[in-house]
Amino acid sequence: MRTPTRLSAVVLAAVALAAGTLTGCGEKPQQDTAQAGVVRLGALVPLSGRNSPSGRAMVDAQQLAVREANEAGGVLGRRVELVVEDDACDPGTAVVAANKLIARDITVSVGGYCSSATVPTLRIFRDAGIPMLIPLSNSAELLQPKYDSVFLVCGTVYAEAEFAVKAMERLGGRRLAVVHDGTSFPLSLAEATVDAARAAGGVDFGGVFELSQGAPRYTRVAEQVRDSGADSIYFTGYYAEANRLIIDLRDAGFTGKIMVGDGAVDGPLLENLTAQQSRDVFGTTFLVPEFMPALAEWSTRFTAAVGHAPGPATPEAYDAVKLALDAIRRAGSLNRDAVRRAIAGTTQLPLLSGDPRFNPDGTRAKPTFLLLAVRDNRFTYVSSNETP
């Protein structure tokens, strides 16, 4: 049994607020028929706070998919519209924002970056009958309700943890310390990493440590990790904390390998790091167009449309829209249950992220993970689970 997270109380309170004051007596919101000629998709992403760069990148990718669909004639003769709300990677903010999307009569939710903000919206969208195609959130908590309307476009924490442990072993790691921030996705990935390492049997543990999101320094945690005797660290949180942790680890004298999970592999991770601090820093992540020749044509389209190259979080966000619109076409209507069934039954659709099929539990059948290394203050490709 997995240990409960401190998110649980927040989730319960947020869902109670939504049920009692925003939707009222368990009734589904009335559909907006003022614009019957529009297909609306809803995107909850962080547009404020430390993770806002990723949220803005996701919206850029999704708007590109919407623009391309409209240029091709829309869907079922209707224009497609992306309705965007800021969840700030905060559970309470996400609950309020989710209800705003429901009030706009969206057919599918295509948002989700921070799992801590996505988890409390599961029940809200479920009660409204709205299927969820979640681009980046991948905490184990997303699967716990066992909703048949939740689909994870990226790989799960279990698959990423297994990939990370194998990568650590290939890099020569023998004693591993895991650091998380106590929130949904980082804690889930940390627990999954411990399980994967124990199953593999090739790595000893220096311990599991928790830091606080947003703290100015992590000196105490850095010293604990150093004193644990670990030669490798896996930090499962986000890039703002990862950046500060790397600095504090090096200041504390830790000279081993530092690996971060997909929530931290982005440009802000490397800000203000010296060459010595960024030495032997690695990351496990989802698709990064820069390192994937198969995405070159799409990257060119993205750059021409948006004005900058696509980064992490963009392919999955684009694919979430493509999956939603394809399902609506095959359903032949905006009936949400028909669309949900169409998503679950997707077998053939060209996607940036590969095989479009989902497992019965809503996880992606064949997710792709990359291992990156930092060289000259930028990420470089090392390997993937498909091409070692």
Structure confidence by residue, pLDDT tens digits, 217-247? 999 999 999 999 999 999 999 989 999 999 9
pLDDT of residue 204: 87
Q: Report whether 209 contacts 241 (CB < 8 A).
A: no
Query: ∠248-156-58 over CA atoms, to 5°?
Result: 75
CB under 8 Å to 30, separation ≥6 — which residues? Answer: none
Q: Quick check: 267 pLDDT over 90?
A: no
| Beta carbons of 148 and 200 less than 8 angstroms apart | no
Percent of the chain predicted with pLDDT > 90: 81
Among 131, 54, 117, smallest CA distance to 88 is for 117
Q: How confident is the model at residue 194 (pLDDT cuts 50, 70, 90)?
A: very high
Q: What is the pTM of this model?
A: 0.82
- pLDDT of 7 above 80: no
Where residue 372 falls among pLDDT bands split at 50, 70, 90?
very high
Please say if the pLDDT value at position 156 is more than 50: yes
Range in 37-46, 48-57, 224-233, 315-324 with the lowest mean pLDDT? 48-57
Question: What's the rounded Cα separation, in Å, for the pair 214 and 271?
Answer: 16
Compute the Cα dihedral for 367, 373, 378, 380 and give only its sign: negative
What pLDDT score was predicted for residue 200?
86
Q: Is the pLDDT of residue 9 over 60?
A: no
Q: Which helix (H) or strand (E) holds 165?
A: helix 157-170
List, edge to edge, every strand of the sheet that includes 370-375: 204-210, 175-180, 232-235, 257-260, 281-285, 370-375, 378-384
